[in-house]
Amino acid sequence: MSAPAVGVVKVDTDVHCVPSSLSDVVAHMDPYWRDYTTDGGVSLSPTQGGAYPPGIGPGGRPLSDVGALGERVLSPDGTDLAILTCTSTFQTNRNPYYEAALCRALNDWLLERWQAHDPRLRVAMVVPTLDVDAAVAEVHRIGDRPEVVTALLPVRNDTRWGNVGNRPVLRAAAEHGLVVTLHAWGRAGQAPTSSGMTHSYLEDYLANGHVVAQGQLVSLVTEGVFAELPGLRVTVAECGSTWLPTLLWRFDKDWKGVWREVPWVDRPPSEIVREHVRFTTAPIHLPSDPVQAREAVDLLGPELLMHAGDHPHDHGPGADRLAAVLDGDELAAVRGGTAAEWYRLG
């Protein structure tokens, strides 16, 4: 394997951070919502705190301090640019007005307490999922800021993101040149399978990729999102990727037989996905045998992959297996070149 090119930018597309408590972001709310959180005893979502076992990564919890993040995560890895991901709004809250206030405050917290103190950081803005108008308003509020590069959405939502009712959110992101990131986890109260709720954590965890993320991709294509918004870019984060080739094979096959239902899908779905979608490398599930691993990467397409350290989560040896079978140019692209272009980080 040849060495990567010297001086190639290194981008981490998924670095988690989290408020130490709700009080970190309350200061960014107006007086009404400050009183609301205090008087109501509101706290951050417990479902997100329990999304991973305590021992899955260093400390088991994302960092809450920008200085520590830089010193312990970014600098040792040689990261030039990193996208901050905060999933604290991926919760079971059912108050759309509070959710809008929380998202606004969290975005201001990310910009003022994090990005302003480390120029390597870029922000994945959070948007409300219960009120489409509020989501659009939040995208318009900060979507033109150069520090904001993507709109973060839970892959597990009350409705599929391709649904026409969600189109204004995707349209607003496209208008501002933002990537839309569909990230693992989301509405814990929604069944992740077509046959109902899961009954173990293992089932729920696995469903992020092989059930929910696949369904969202199918929805985005078949419901005409990319036909209406040809400039839209979507990242699927922390949901795996090696399931994609088999999905696309079946997607193309069945489209040939029932294309009349979706006349706006005017070419094989696999072509649409490969043009509009990218995947983070955490996790990537590859066999230990290098020959088999390379075959899996060729089926997937290394051009679809973008490096993610996914601090603080440890997803095993997949990333090392991937790096071991890429040539120099491919490794440079995965480590930063593809992301730099995708997120327009130049």
The amino acid sitting at 194 is: S
pLDDT band at 46, cuts 50/70/90?
low
Q: How does DSSP assign 52-97, residue by residue?
A: S-GGGSGGGS-BS-HHHHIIIIIHHHT-SEEEEE--TT-S----HH
Of the two residues 193 and 250, the one the predictor is more confident about is: 250
Token pair for residue 322? Answer: 């991937």
pLDDT attached to residue 57: 45
**Structure confidence at residue 6 (pLDDT):** 42
Q: Which pairing describes strands 148-156 and 121-126: parallel, antiparallel, or unpaired?
A: parallel
Do strands 234-237 and 81-85 pair parallel, antiparallel, or not at all (unpaired)?
unpaired
Helix (DSSP H) and strand (DSSP E) numbers for the chain: 17, 8
Is residue 179 left, alpha or beta, with left meaning phi > 0 and alpha meaning psi from -120 to 50?
beta
Average pLDDT, the chain: 89
For residue 314, is it left (φ>0), alpha (ψ between -120 and 50) or beta?
beta
How buried is 211 (Cβ within 10 angstroms: 0-12 exposed, 13-18 middle, 19+ buried)?
buried
- For the stretch 139-180, pLDDT in tens is 999 999 999 999 999 998 888 999 999 999 999 999 999 999
> Residue 313: its pLDDT value, please?
83
CB 236 within 8 A of CB 280: yes
Q: Look at residues 154, 165, 108 and name the one whose alpha carbon lies nearest to residue 128.
A: 154
Q: pLDDT, tens digit, for every residue of 240-287? A: 999 999 999 999 999 999 999 999 999 999 999 999 999 999 999 999
* Closest-CA residue to 136 (of 160, 103, 94, 159): 103
> Does the reported pTM lie above 0.85?
yes
- Tokens 């599930």 appear where? 285
User: What does the pLDDT average to over 117-121?
Assistant: 97
Digit-coded pLDDT (tens) for 203-239: 777 777 777 899 999 999 999 999 999 999 999 999 9
* Cα 181 to Cα 126: distance, rounded to the nearest angstrom: 10
State the angle between helix axes of 244-258 and 290-300 in degrees (0 to 180), rounded to the nearest 10: 40
**Sign (positive/negative) of CA torsion 121, 344, 275, 324?**
negative
Where is 34: in which H helix or E strand? helix 31-39
